[in-house]
């Protein structure tokens, strides 16, 4: 399993084939920081990406943000982070 630490706003393609996000840890929630998770390939190809978490506006991150169970992604794992000031999120995936 890999752990990816993200500390800046942006779009990140963690995997371009099926996989799971096993856990999320948010040691620093930043300011008005939001998270979107998409099931799909390509950094700029949102037309074929299916939203898994966060919808159009993104879900607000808090230090208590976590998963109740692993999330499956059939086409790839894409993460989009946005907001006034970035914090830190650690994503464990495979």
What are the pLDDT digits (tens) for 81-93? Answer: 999 999 999 999 9
Nearest alpha-carbon partner for 89 in 61, 57, 55, 52: 61
User: Residue 24 is inside which H or E element, if any?
Assistant: strand 19-28
2-93: which CATH topology?
Jelly Rolls (2.60.120)
Q: Supply the pLDDT for residue 40.
A: 87
Entry pTM: 0.90
What does the pLDDT read at residue 42?
54
- Furthest-apart CA atoms within the chain: distance in Å: 32
pLDDT in tens, 18-52: 999 999 999 999 999 999 999 987 555 555 678 99
- Report the C-alpha gap between 25 and 74 in whole angstroms: 22
CB 23 within 8 A of CB 63: no
User: In degrees rounded to 5, what are phi and psi of residue 40?
Assistant: 175, 160
Tokens 């190809």: give the residue.
Answer: 45
């Amino acid at each position: 399993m890999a752990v990816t630490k993200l500390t800046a706003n942006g779009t990140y393609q963690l995997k371009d084939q099926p996989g799971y996000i096993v856990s999320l840890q948010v040691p620093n929630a930043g300011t008005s920081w939001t998270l979107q998770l998409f099931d799909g390939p390509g950094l700029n190809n949102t037309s074929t990406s299916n939203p898994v978490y966060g919808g159009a506006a993104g879900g607000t991150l808090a230090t208590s943000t976590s998963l109740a169970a692993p999330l499956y992604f059939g086409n790839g794992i894409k993460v989009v982070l946005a907001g006034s000031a970035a914090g830190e999120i650690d994503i464990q995936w495979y």
